[in-house]
Homo-oligomer: A and B are copies of this chain.
Amino acid sequence: MVTLADVARQAGVSSATASRVFGRPDMVGAETRAIVIEAADRLGYVANSTARALAMGSSGLLGLVVPQLSSSYFAPLISAVQSEVERSGFELIIVDSRGCPESEIEIARRLRGRVDGIIFASPRSPGAALAEAARAFPVVTVNRELPDIDSVSVDVIAGLTELCELLITAGHRTIAYLGGPPGSISDDGRFLTARTVIGDNGGEVLRFGPVEPTVSAGAESLSMLQEAGVHAVIAYNALVAHGLMFAAATVGARVPDDLAVAAVDDLIDIGLGLPSLTAITQPMGEAGSRAGRMLVGQAARPSGTDPDTRARTIQHLVLPSTLVIGETC
């Protein structure tokens, strides 16, 4: 392993100068700089970022904790966070909590002292545990607002409200909400919003599910809805909505005439030639890059500054979701 000292010796300068060549090139004479660089890559020098991290008091690593890595919901977020973070010269370490609240905080413990900050995407842990993880440590949450932690959330509620009003305007009074796997805070919120908005307009919401996030689960749910006599459904997920539509096509039910279909996301267009889906689009990529920027902002702040300066205002950024009106309702 070739070290800075080796490079310095080879170049005939002190290790301080060698260090400066990489860290603050403008502090070094152009000539010396060239010699050092030349020496460095003759020797194949690669900076040891561990040592650098220790000396500088920060690792240049940021953490991103997601409930599920292979989820198309988080994919654009992960990708955006990664770009944003790399743009600022940080490295990203992504950890999959497997949707388990305990492992979220366990991960936070392990990551602390190794990374300069953490983003929790849609965390399921108790707020207190998260707050604890965030004390005196840069943390940003996504889709979860906690009093003392910066956050960026996507306001599905607004889009959902709009959607409910659309359905009401279209004459629907009984509307099904086909919900997702239990344990999701957002799922409850969505149902409640739908119930409130629709209730305020003299309608009624029936909650169905939970169903798995798959096309077949959606397809299988159709009979359930038909038996209940509903003619409008809000599916928590586009895959499920597609399943419903596919099953409807199979049994000869027309969309939207016999069944109006809408979804809370539009993650996937499997392109079966089905009518275009009315769905609430969530700007997860945008959320990711905002969260990334916030975290970089916190982490870059030199930790030595006095408490007053450090006591920044907590930011809660809320991004609007968009209702995209398709042919399905």
Please report A residues at the B interface, Cβ cutoff 8 Å.
1, 46-51, 53-54, 59, 61, 69-72, 74-76, 78-79, 82, 91-96, 109-114, 214-217, 219, 239, 243, 246, 250, 269-273, 303
Contacts and interface: CB of A to CB of B under 8 A. Distances in A.
B50 A114 contact: yes
Given A49-B114, A50-B113, A114-B91, A272 B215 contact: yes
A16 to B, nearest CB: 19
Nearest to A53: B50
Contact of A273 (B78, B92, B219, B270): B219
A123 to B, nearest CB: 18
Copies of chain A in the complex? 2
Given A50-B114, A92-B95, A93-B93, 18 more contacts: A46-B112, A48-B113, A49-B113, A50-B50, A70-B71, A93-B94, A214-B270, A215-B271, A216-B269, A216-B270, A216-B271, A216-B272, A216-B273, A217-B271, A219-B273, A243-B271, A246-B272, A250-B273
B78 A69 contact: yes
A272 B75 contact: no
Nearest to A269: B216
Given A215-B270, A215-B272, A96 B114 contact: no
A50 B71 CA distance: 31
B219 A271 contact: yes
Contacts of A214: 270-271
Contacts of A1: 303
Contacts of A114: 49-50, 61, 91
Contacts of A250: 273
A19 B76 CA distance: 42
A46 B271 contact: no
